[in-house]
Amino acid sequence: MASTNSSTGSKRMKTIRLYLNYAGYCTAKASHAVKGDPPKDIHFKALFAVIQHPEKGYVIFDTGYSTNFYKSTRSFPNKIYAWITKVFIKEKEEIKNQLIAAGISPNDIEHIIVSHFHADHIGGLKDFPNARFYCSTKAANQALEISALTGFSKGILKTLIPNDFHLRAQYLEELPCQEIDPILGKVYDIFGDSSILAFHLPGHAAGQIGIKIQTEKRTYLMVADACWDQRAITQNKLPNPIVRLFFDSWKDYQESIQKLKAYQQQYPEALLIPSHCLDSYHSLIQPQLNFDVL
């Protein structure tokens, strides 16, 4: 059943609140993230979002890294992943422990939205035993069906995915509330109240999704790795072509960028937040859980 309402909001939206922080980081070459940038090392922070929903409680969008990454990459073939990608995460930086420090039990988290299945976005999934997982069918199919031997070549460490993932998954395509946004395309209303709208952003990874949320202060698009640097949107500065080797589809990637550009042009007041572009969100990060800023 498709709703006739536009995703830009004729329905009365629930007031939600947002908190952003990151759990760990990896190092990367600036010249890979943006073609033409100097070949120096930069930190790719692993962003997560906590959304406070008046009825659904705390909803997480991506989890960042966890120290499970180190356990997962102790032996071959995953060890190769750790050779290529230098990851830095301490236990106290894990999203689980950041929530505990704020007085929230990981057992109480019932909803986690997964943008895609790379280790820097799903590192903490196993720390939330009671959560339902929201993701695209395509992303889940690739992650669940790829063999443990070849998963690392697609950025997927199978050991980070809970064994009962499929039983706890809510695939977006099966949600009852769907609508078509003229720019974002098919939009999935996760709770049926317009509070969190998911949409496709494929290319970087198979079946990647982003979400659109609106707090009292602003509209935010969490765009995951649809771009690594906001200049892909604002100045047409794309990654070095070498990274195409690791992308699921360069054509889809470019189409997702065009979609976000068109959205930003139409809605200049909306803030696009790529997961690893610190310039986009460093001023939004609070050291402790705080829903009053965003």
Q: Residues 35 to 54: which contact Zn ion by CB under 5 A?
A: none
**Is the CB of 93 or the CB of 120 nearer to Zn ion?**
120
Q: CB 229 → Zn ion: shortest distance, Å? A: 12
- 225 sits near Zn ion (criterion: CB under 5 A): yes
3-state helix/strand/coil string of the chain: CECCCCCCCCCCCCCCEEEEEEEEEEEEEHHHHCCCCCCCEEEEEEEEEEEEECCCEEEEECCCCCCHHHHHCCCCCHHHHHHHCCEECCHHHCHHHHHHHCCCCHHHCCEEECCCCCHHHHCCHHHCCCCEEEECHHHHHHHHHCCCCCHHHHCCCHHHCCCCHHHHEEEHHHCCCEEEECCCEEEEECCCCCCEEEEECCCCCCCCEEEEEECCCCEEEEEECCCCCCHHHHCCCCCCHHHHHHCCCHHHHHHHHHHHHHHHHHCCCCEEEECCCHHHHHHHCCCCCCCCCC
Pick from 93, 120, 127, 229: which binds Zn ion (CB under 5 A)?
A: 120
Q: Please say which residue, 120 or 252, places its beta carbon nearer to Zn ion.
A: 120
CB of 272 to Zn ion, least distance (A): 15
The answer to whether residue 248 forms part of the interface with Zn ion (CB under 5 A) is no
Please choose, from the candidates 11, 2, 135, 4, the residue with its C-alpha nearest in 3D space to the C-alpha of residue 63.
135
Output 50 or 205, the one with its CB closest to Zn ion: 205
Output 94 or 189, the one with its CB closest to Zn ion.
94
The span of 27-35, 183-191, 221-229, 230-238 binding Zn ion (CB under 5 A) equals: 221-229
Q: Which is nearer to Zn ion, 180 or 242 (CB)?
A: 242
Considering only 167-175, 195-203, 220-228, 282-290, which stretch makes contact with Zn ion by CB under 5 A? 220-228
Of 72-80, 118-126, 140-148, 177-185: span binding Zn ion (CB under 5 A): 118-126
**Per CB under 5 A, which region of 31-39, 78-86, 150-158, 218-226 contacts Zn ion?**
218-226
Cα 5 → chain centroid:
26
Minimum Å gap between C-beta 155 and Zn ion is 8
Nearer to Zn ion, 46 or 184 (CB): 46
| Segment interacting with Zn ion, rule: CB under 5 A, options 59-67, 137-145, 180-188, 225-233 | 225-233
- For Zn ion, the binding residues (CB under 5 A) are 120, 225
